[in-house]
Amino acid sequence: MLFANGDKVLFTGDSVTDAGRGRPVGEGLHAGVGTGYVRIVETLLNVYYPERLIQVSNTGNSGDNVVSLKARWQNDVMNLHPDWVSVCIGVNDVWRQFDSPSIKSQHVYIDEYRKTLSELVERTLPSVKGMILLSPYYMESNREDAMRAKMDEYVAAVAEIASKYNTHYVDLQAAFDKYLTYRHSSFIAWDRVHPNQVGCMIIAREIMRSVGFDREFL
């Protein structure tokens, strides 16, 4: 497993990561890392790797796109000096193009998205042990749906960036697509974006697979 004793693992992104986390930094007791997938990752690490003291921090911020994430990157990522950084961003970059089509100032188109996320990766890699890039997703199995088709472009961009910079990559869209062959999206996210605990478990499972979970799961 990639995370070693004493490592600090920071998760950041939009509301999917935020999940009601504590402020200014989500960690420790009470609100802590929130109630979403980061909480499940933290729990799995504590249950299955008790010999490793791994600090989990959450600086996800509801409503963020990659541009607003960049604006707070120094304060909410670099200044916290993590060993590992996990990023899940892109849903709002696409969503605002559909739920607020006339407010173009809220849109982040694919070229800007790719350029900005690449800049964040380049800026961060020299200071950390590694990064984990989570793809954005839309829980819609009809790939001809307009928002799903657009989201697929952003998913592909994250995969390209992960390959270019040799980061870990987690394809959440593929994971949800597989699940949706058995269950309707309303079972895990009524708005097809914000996951319930089942959806959060799917995300956490894919992250743990990516970092080399190697304990017997009982």
Q: In what order do the strands lie in the sheet with 84-88?
A: 55-58, 8-13, 84-88, 130-134, 168-170
Tokens matching residue 213: 């979970």
Task: Give the pLDDT confidence score for residue 148 in this predicted structure.
Answer: 97
Asked if 9 and 207 count as a contact pair (C-beta separation under 8 A), the reply is no
Catalytic residue among 15, 57, 86, 185: 15
pLDDT beyond 90 at 51: yes
Q: For 140-195, what is each residue's pLDDT tens digit?
A: 999 999 999 999 999 999 999 999 999 999 999 999 999 999 999 999 999 999 99
- Residue 37's nearest CA partner among 54, 24, 18 is 18
Residue 62 among the catalytic residues:
no
Task: Give the pLDDT confidence score for residue 216 in this predicted structure.
Answer: 85
Residue 15 among the catalytic residues:
yes
* Dist. CA 65–CA 148, nearest whole Å: 17
Average pLDDT over residues 194-217: 95
Catalytic residue among 7, 83, 191, 210: 191
Domains along the chain with CATH numbers: 8-210 (3.40.50.1110)
The b/e string for 3-40 (b: 16+ C-beta within 10 A; e otherwise) is beeebbbbbbbbbbbbbbbbeebbbeeeebbbebbbbb
Asked if 97 and 144 count as a contact pair (C-beta separation under 8 A), the reply is no
Residue 102 among the catalytic residues:
no
- What's this model's pTM, rounded to 2 decimal places? 0.96
The b/e string for 53-78 (b: 16+ C-beta within 10 A; e otherwise) is ebbbbbbbbeebbbebbbeebeebbb
Q: For 96-130, what is each residue's pLDDT tens digit?
A: 999 999 999 999 999 999 999 999 999 999 999 99
pLDDT beyond 90 at 217: no
- Residue 95's nearest CA partner among 153, 138, 37, 62 is 138
- Residue 9's nearest CA partner among 33, 30, 29, 35 is 33
Asked if 130 and 167 count as a contact pair (C-beta separation under 8 A), the reply is yes
Catalytic residue among 57, 64, 76, 194: 194
